[in-house]
Amino acid sequence: MIAAKASYFARTALGGMWRDPFVHVIAIASLAIALVGFGLARIAGAQIDALVSALGGEVELTVYLKDGTPAEEVKKLEAALAQRTGGVARTVSPAEALGRLSEQLGPQGQALTELGANPLPWSVEVTLPPQLRDLASLQALAQTLRALTFVEAVDYGADALERLAALSKGLKLASVVAFAIVFLTTIVVVSATLQLAIYSRREEIEIQKLVGATNRFVRAPFLLEGMVQGLLSAVLATLALWALVTWAAPRAAGMLGFLALPKGSQLMSTRLMVELLLLGLAMGLSGSVVAVRRFLRV
Amino acid sequence: MIAAKASYFARTALGGMWRDPFVHVIAIASLAIALVGFGLARIAGAQIDALVSALGGEVELTVYLKDGTPAEEVKKLEAALAQRTGGVARTVSPAEALGRLSEQLGPQGQALTELGANPLPWSVEVTLPPQLRDLASLQALAQTLRALTFVEAVDYGADALERLAALSKGLKLASVVAFAIVFLTTIVVVSATLQLAIYSRREEIEIQKLVGATNRFVRAPFLLEGMVQGLLSAVLATLALWALVTWAAPRAAGMLGFLALPKGSQLMSTRLMVELLLLGLAMGLSGSVVAVRRFLRV
Amino acid sequence: MIQMFHVTKAFGNDPPTLMDINLDIQKGEFVFLTGPSGAGKTTLLKLVFLAERATRGQVLVSGRNVARLRESGIPYLRRNIGVVFQDFKLLPNRSVAENVGFALDVIGTPRELVRQKALKILKRVGLEHKANVLPPKLSGGEQQRVVIARALVNDPAILLADEPTGNLDPALTVEIMDLLCDVNARGTTVVVATHDASLIERYHKRTLRLERGTLVSEERGAKAALLMVQG
Amino acid sequence: MIQMFHVTKAFGNDPPTLMDINLDIQKGEFVFLTGPSGAGKTTLLKLVFLAERATRGQVLVSGRNVARLRESGIPYLRRNIGVVFQDFKLLPNRSVAENVGFALDVIGTPRELVRQKALKILKRVGLEHKANVLPPKLSGGEQQRVVIARALVNDPAILLADEPTGNLDPALTVEIMDLLCDVNARGTTVVVATHDASLIERYHKRTLRLERGTLVSEERGAKAALLMVQG
Ligand SMILES: Nc1ncnc2c1ncn2[C@@H]1O[C@H](COP(=O)(O)OP(=O)(O)OP(=O)(O)O)[C@@H](O)[C@H]1O
Ligand SMILES: Nc1ncnc2c1ncn2[C@@H]1O[C@H](COP(=O)(O)OP(=O)(O)OP(=O)(O)O)[C@@H](O)[C@H]1O
Ligand SMILES: [Mg+2]
Ligand SMILES: [Mg+2]
């Protein structure tokens, strides 16, 4: 009897989708749209993270040393800094600094190389490890370094860092807001579409109940349908995202080359696919649960 | 008779929405979502334009003069440049240039001020008008300027400009793609929802035709309904956008302050509202036309 | 008024539902159409108001060959034909008066006149007190009378009534039949499809008998009724 | 099997549709329920299978007071009651066999058995050749027989038939009534709501007559039929 019922549910669910494909196509389409929106938001979020940590990779701390610091002290400091921060420290001689500066300045810089004496000091540049890349740790670190004997000044591009942090926060917020809007509205549309799908079959539900079906019996095929719809739309969404990413990624990379985007295939992780599948299932199922509940009072 | 029919259509359309609010709420909701998507894309597009031209406002051309150029020649050149480009030209003395440089360089810069002689040349900075801000005109302009007698070098930040152009192109493309995706999918969902709404009333259509209604007579109330839905959803979308923009703009401005976003109220132009209204009407109407056509063969 | 020449109707590849039907119903006539379940009575009526098209043969209504009528001409044909549908076809979410007025709305009758005429005809079928009720709240017989009222509300030239008394008690049946006779007396051509032998016996009208898609006899009154019961 | 004590049913604030009904139908009995259109026959049947609940009074089915039955108990009550609905209630997009099998699917009968039983009962109402057709393609009388088949397919303890022969010709009416009598002879309690005086006369069963919501008489056969026609 249970096997008979299960088989009946499966037949009814698939039969319902087969017999009246119209409403199901709509439900699947809107579910798939929601999932594509979710996928895009996830990919964009991952990209923003990658971008921020890539830019963060440029966070450097420069320690300018006092004039006349002995060479062995410079070496010692370099070693101490590397050990202390866990990053990479590198000593920059006044000559190297002047060369860089004149290069940076372009036409103006040519004049610098014509100077008799090099006015620039020795310095040590430290590329910081990720855990020290926030403003607070940098400030603390700079404070301690400034107290050292041979240190003249410490520079860590506070401005750029603040902007970067603000930008990353802004982008994250924007993507969360955009995602929330897309998601909420599609949830409304999806559950409404499913309700409409069931609404168009209220006659069937009424008759089932009149011939002695329990609420559970009436509900089961609809829930199954919702799950099948969720799965189908997840598959659709995965394909659509894949196509989109494959098409868009090289173009975006060409245009925004300096941001070094990963390849399209890397953007669609297995994890994302699993998430899409589970989310699709959950949305399809919960959409039907809500919808069925509304129309079961016959 | 025509008045009677018009009154009948109006009553039927409004009556239909009143009697079966469910399907209409869904249709209106999905239309409104499409319109909000459209509005957001328009606002984002306008913002990107504004951002690009704001950043473009920083495009400057610097003309470095040869050592020993007489002061009156410098003045002449300044005037000539201002006239020729239609922009604003400003002479920068070697002293001013050194001051800026040392400020720019921070700790490193202190050393510069200790130099005996100022190695920097006289220069003229030109802020260019919008029509000259693209790479091609800049290159042409630089070419001609380099040929002048007292000119040593011409600098116009080609790198930054190229990046800016690429970024703007990329952002525009991304917004167009995102908009196209949102728009196409919502069009599909909207027309499907309207079809579902009419589908749920196919019995009514059948009976109307059986008692002698012409196709046109059957169609009219549905088209009217589509238009009313379009209008309502446009109003809804305007309100939603307004709320969103009012809520989000100050937060975004706080976060991305350095980009100088306009105030929320400025983002919702009358023109945008009119566009939303017309688009809503058109989508509602065309959605019903398509949907009615599908279900009029009874 | 209604003429058929060698009319055949087949659905898909099934054996034909109607075969080589020939009939001639005069203007102002009152005709019963009878026959066992599935004989093709409803299908024959549908051919007249073009709910179905004949597979072969000619169907003439008011002298016009409707077999050749274009899609766009159908509404104008239907406006002259009142139909009592066997399965009622009432809109569940419109009041009784609105359902009855439907046939008038369609031709652009002003609202007040629609309601006035609807109430008048509802009174004649004994349902004026149910004018503002929704059809699902009516009993079977009440629904049937609403359908009859709708068919009569715009004084059609032809009335096709498919089993109009199947849900009515004997007393009401007589009332409704008297109403149909009355409408007929004022010039409307009436065709009534029915299984009710007692009606055919009592009203003594020309009776066409269908059997498995062919017209098998044409009698009146008791003789026709006898054929039915033997059938 | 079915008992009612002082049952009243009112819809909203309308005057009650049924007033102070008292009746007792024994297990295995065959009872006709008659009365004019709108008297409350359908409503009375609905109280038995809980499509409506009584406003006041007790309704006992198989000795259980269904007035107190919880929502979740209703399906189990209905599985023992076969109902022939006056408005058919067939699913337009399921085949005839599927429609008939519906009542068996609901209790978890295996698929092959469902089809087998459905075909068997369809044969008894003369429709085995229409098993795979969709209901909208059937004639009125054919649809009515499908509904009868669906009501009988799971051998219910009680059969409520609301106007089961309204769309059937005299010959088929006899066949179907014989089927109902046969089912009754095998132990099923049968209640038939009908307007057809000839049935009541011919079958000579206990006949309950409703008028404007009250039970006014209880006769058998010719006497009951006479009351109807006079009605
Ligand atoms: N749309 C259709 N498609 C296929 N077959 C149909 C269709 N409509 C009717 N039929 C078949 O044609 C035959 C005649 O149907 P019709 O409705 O004309 O019978 P009827 O004489 O009105 O019977 P009843 O008295 O039972 O109403 C039936 O067997 C029916 O199954
Ligand atoms: N859901 C409802 N809401 C309001 N009134 C109702 C409802 N159902 C039935 N009625 C009213 O109750 C009365 C009795 O209806 P019922 O269907 O029981 O009559 P009946 O005896 O079956 O008539 P018929 O022979 O015409 O089928 C009718 O006047 C009807 O309008
Ligand atoms: Mg028929
Ligand atoms: Mg009834």
Residue D18 near residue D8 (C-beta atoms within 8 A):
yes
Q: What is the average per-residue pLDDT within C163-186? A: 94
Chain B residue numbers touching A258 (CB-CB < 8 A): 163, 166
Q: What does the pLDDT read at residue B116?
A: 63
Q: Is the pLDDT of residue A287 over 50?
A: yes
Q: Is the pLDDT of residue A79 over 80?
A: yes
Confidence of residue A165 (pLDDT cuts 50, 70, 90): low
Answer positive or negative: Cα dihedral of B123, B129, B134, B138.
negative
CB contact under 8 A, A252 and B112: no
Question: For residues A200-210, b (16+ Cβ closer than 10 Å) or e, as one string?
Answer: bbeebbebbbb
State chain D's mean pLDDT as an integer: 93
Go through the domains of chain A in sequence order and give each one's CATH number. 2-54+162-295 (no CATH), 60-156 (3.30.70.3040)
The DSSP letter of residue D135 is G
CA distance B5 to chain C (A): 5
In chain B, the N- to C-terminal Cα span, in Å, equals: 26
Q: Is the pLDDT of residue C171 over 70?
A: yes
C203-230 residue pLDDT tens:
999 999 999 999 998 888 888 888 877 7
D114-156 residue pLDDT tens:
999 999 999 999 999 999 999 999 999 999 999 999 999 999 9
Q: Is the pLDDT of residue D202 over 90?
A: yes
Q: What does the pLDDT read at residue A251?
A: 65
C80-137 residue pLDDT tens:
999 999 999 999 889 999 999 988 988 889 999 999 999 999 999 999 999 999 999 9
Residues 6+ away with beta carbon under 8 Å from D226: none
CA C140 – ligand 2 centroid, Å: 7
Confidence of residue A186 (pLDDT cuts 50, 70, 90): low
Q: What does the pLDDT read at residue A244?
A: 81
Q: What does the pLDDT read at residue C178?
A: 95
Residue of D139, D165, D199 for testing the chain C interface, max C β-carbons within 10 Å:
D139
Q: Check pocket membership of D141 for ligand 1, CB cut-off 6 A.
A: yes
Residues 6+ away with beta carbon under 8 Å from D178: none
CA D136 – ligand 1 centroid, Å: 9
Atom number, ligand 1, closest to the C-alpha of residue D143: 26
Q: What is the average per-residue pLDDT within D1-16? A: 94
Nearest to A252 among B22, B114, B170 (CB): B170
State chain A's mean pLDDT as an integer: 76
B172-228 residue pLDDT tens:
666 676 667 666 666 666 666 677 767 777 788 889 899 999 988 888 888 898 899
Q: What does the pLDDT read at residue D120?
A: 97
Domain positions in chain C: 90-154
D13-60 residue pLDDT tens:
989 999 999 999 999 999 999 999 999 999 999 999 999 999 999 999
Q: What does the pLDDT read at residue B232?
A: 93
Q: What does the pLDDT read at residue D119?
A: 97
The DSSP letter of residue D1 is -
Measure the CA–CA gap between D207 and D209, rounded to whole angstroms: 6
Helices (H), chain A: 2-19, 21-56, 71-85, 94-105, 110-113, 135-146, 158-199, 202-210, 215-255, 264-267, 270-295
CA distances from C22 to A130, C26, C159, C215, C216 (A): 95, 13, 20, 8, 11
Q: What does the pLDDT read at residue A160?
A: 59
| Ligand showing the shortest atom-to-Cα distance for residue C144 | 2
The DSSP letter of residue B126 is E
CA distance B114 to chain A (A): 8
CA distance C66 to chain D (A): 23
Q: What does the pLDDT read at residue B235?
A: 94
Measure the CA–CA gap between C107 and B5, rounded to whole angstroms: 8
Q: What does the pLDDT read at residue C150?
A: 96
CB contact under 8 A, A210 and D78: yes
Q: Is the pLDDT of residue A185 over 80?
A: no
D168-184 residue pLDDT tens:
999 999 999 999 999 99
Q: Check pocket membership of C141 for ligand 2, CB cut-off 6 A.
A: yes
CA B249 – ligand 1 centroid, Å: 67
Helices D221-230, C170-185: axis angle to 10 degrees equals 40
Nearest to D222 by CA among D206, D203, D208, D201: D201
CB contact under 8 A, C108 and B1: yes
Q: Is the pLDDT of residue A260 over 60?
A: no
Q: What does the pLDDT read at residue A51?
A: 63
Q: Closest residue of D to A8, CA-based?
A: D105
Q: What does the pLDDT read at residue A91?
A: 86
Q: C-alpha C167: how far from its chain's center? A: 15
3-state secondary structure of D158: strand
The per-residue DSSP string of C20-75 comes to EEEEEE-TT-EEEEE-STTSSHHHHHHHHTTSS--SEEEEEETTEEGGG--GGGHH
Q: What does the pLDDT read at residue B298?
A: 44
Q: What does the pLDDT read at residue B262?
A: 56
Q: Best-predicted range by mean pLDDT among A204-213, A250-259, C117-126?
A: C117-126
| Ligand showing the shortest atom-to-Cα distance for residue D165 | 1
Q: What does the pLDDT read at residue B258?
A: 45
CB contact under 8 A, D86 and C167: yes
In chain C, the N- to C-terminal Cα span, in Å, equals: 29
CB contact under 8 A, D139 and C38: yes
Q: What does the pLDDT read at residue D123?
A: 97
Q: What does the pLDDT read at residue D222?
A: 81
- For chain C, what is the radius of gyration of the CA atoms? 17
Measure the CA–CA gap between C161 and C191, rounded to whole angstroms: 6
Q: What does the pLDDT read at residue A96?
A: 83
Residue A10: Cβ within 10 Å count: 14
Residue D81: Cβ within 10 Å count: 25
Q: Is the pLDDT of residue A164 over 90?
A: no
Measure the CA–CA gap between D15 and D18, rounded to whole angstroms: 9
| Ligand showing the shortest atom-to-Cα distance for residue D38 | 2
Measure the CA–CA gap between C52 and C75, rounded to whole angstroms: 14
Q: What does the pLDDT read at residue B120?
A: 77
Measure the CA–CA gap between D124 and D104, rounded to whole angstroms: 17
Q: What is the average per-residue pLDDT within A121-138? A: 77
Q: What does the pLDDT read at residue C159?
A: 98
Nearest to D72 by CA among A289, A216, A201, A222: A216
Q: What does the pLDDT read at residue D220?
A: 85
Q: What does the pLDDT read at residue B263?
A: 54
Measure the CA–CA gap between D50 and C138, rounded to whole angstroms: 18
Q: What does the pLDDT read at residue B118?
A: 73
The predicted model scores a pTM of 0.79
What share of chain B in percent tops pLDDT 90?
Answer: 7
Q: Check pocket membership of C53 for ligand 1, CB cut-off 6 A.
A: no
Q: Please check whether residue A251 touches B, CB under 8 A.
A: yes
Q: Please check whether residue D83 touches A, CB under 8 A.
A: yes
Higher per-residue pLDDT: A88 or C12: C12
Strands A151-155 and A60-65: antiparallel
Q: For chain C, what percentages of helix, strand and coil (3-state, to nearest 5) are there?
A: 40, 25, 35
CB contact under 8 A, C37 and D167: yes
Residues 6+ away with beta carbon under 8 Å from C51: B210
The parts of chain B modelled with pLDDT lower than 50 are: 257-260, 298
Amino acid at B257: G
Higher per-residue pLDDT: B125 or A253: B125
Q: What does the pLDDT read at residue D126?
A: 94
C46-83 residue pLDDT tens:
999 999 999 999 999 999 999 889 988 999 999 999 99
Q: What does the pLDDT read at residue B155?
A: 79
Give the position of tokens 């007698």: B149
